[in-house]
Amino acid sequence: MAEKFEELQRATERMVEDVVNKVMRPLQKEAFLCSAQCCDSNTSVKGFEQCTTACNGRVQQAEQLVTAEIQGFQARLQRCAQRCQDVMQDRAIDVGNDTRKMQKLQAEGEACIGTCADDFKATLPKIYNKIAAACKR
């Protein structure tokens, strides 16, 4: 079970790195270049602030989207693992003190949680694609 979650952790870290390098940095570069052009304009202080705020709007929206997607992913994963734990607890009542049954139940619970990790690892490309597509608009 721990191995499955380590794989999920590594895959999640790779996906986040891809989002940062392939999605966020180009947006940030665009925002910096736009902000630099604001410095070249002969506008008032308020006009300059409005210009730079407008330049950074897409980056802020993208950061909010990334945060929301990661939080949603984590919440769904936690619910999946909690469901496995709930099922194990409910079934533990029937096991009693039988060591073999308890070991079997524990193995089933670990398999359930491992399935959660595998299933959520498979969703990472979809999350990346959703973020990338939303940020290109």
Buried b (16+ CB within 10 A) or exposed e, 16-34: bebbeeebbeebbeebeeb
Residue 1 has pLDDT above 70, yes or no: no
Residue 12 has pLDDT above 90, yes or no: yes
Are 117 and 7 in contact by the 8 Å Cβ rule? The answer is yes
Where exactly are the structural domains of the chain? 2-136
Entry pTM: 0.83
Residue 86 has pLDDT above 90, yes or no: yes
